[in-house]
């Protein structure tokens, strides 16, 4: 199972990096989403995959009974997924708005920040 997940993480990373290197904004978004998933799955995998009981202390016991599943990586991933969704939603809206304003989705054509500004202030 660990090997399978490790391979999956590798494939997600490779796909994500390939996609963010493309010129199309849509592909960049997909790439970022894949990278987020890759990182989450990786935390899940390195947090050790054990088939264990929930991490509850039994009544009368003073500690956790082995084997238990470590809840912390799952808590971390839960937080990371929520943050990831929020940020990705923002990115999608931003990219859509950029496409509407500039009329292009080719990242290589976005060079206006390198040019000298015309007059006017804000």
Q: Can you read off the two tokens belonging to residue 5?
A: 């997940």
Alpha-carbon distance of 122 to 118, in angstroms, equals 12
Alpha-carbon distance of 122 to 120, in angstroms, equals 7
Residue 66 beta carbon to another protein: minimum distance, rounded to whole angstroms: 15
SS3 93: helix
User: In the complex, which residues of this chain contact another protein (CB under 8 A)?
Assistant: 16, 20, 25, 28, 32, 35-36, 38-40, 42-43, 46-48, 72-73, 76, 79-80, 83, 86-87, 90-91, 94-95, 97-98, 101-102, 107, 110-114, 116-122
CA distance between the termini of the chain: 56
Residue 77 beta carbon to another protein: minimum distance, rounded to whole angstroms: 9
Residue 40 beta carbon to another protein: minimum distance, rounded to whole angstroms: 7
Residue 45 beta carbon to another protein: minimum distance, rounded to whole angstroms: 8
Alpha-carbon distance of 70 to 111, in angstroms, equals 48
């Amino acid at each position: 199972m660990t090997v399978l997940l490790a391979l999956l993480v590798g494939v997600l990373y490779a796909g994500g990096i390939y996609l963010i290197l493309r010129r199309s904004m849509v592909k960049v978004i997909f790439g970022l989403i894949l990278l987020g998933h890759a990182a989450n799955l990786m935390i899940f995998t390195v947090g050790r995959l054990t088939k264990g009981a929930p991490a509850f202390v039994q009544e009368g016991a003073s500690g956790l009974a082995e084997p238990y599943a470590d809840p912390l990586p799952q808590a971390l991933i839960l937080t990371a997924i929520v943050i990831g969704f929020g940020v990705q939603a923002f990115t999608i809206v931003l990219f859509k708005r950029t496409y509407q304003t500039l009329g292009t989705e080719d990242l290589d054509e976005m060079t206006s920040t390198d040019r000298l500004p015309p007059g006017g202030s804000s």
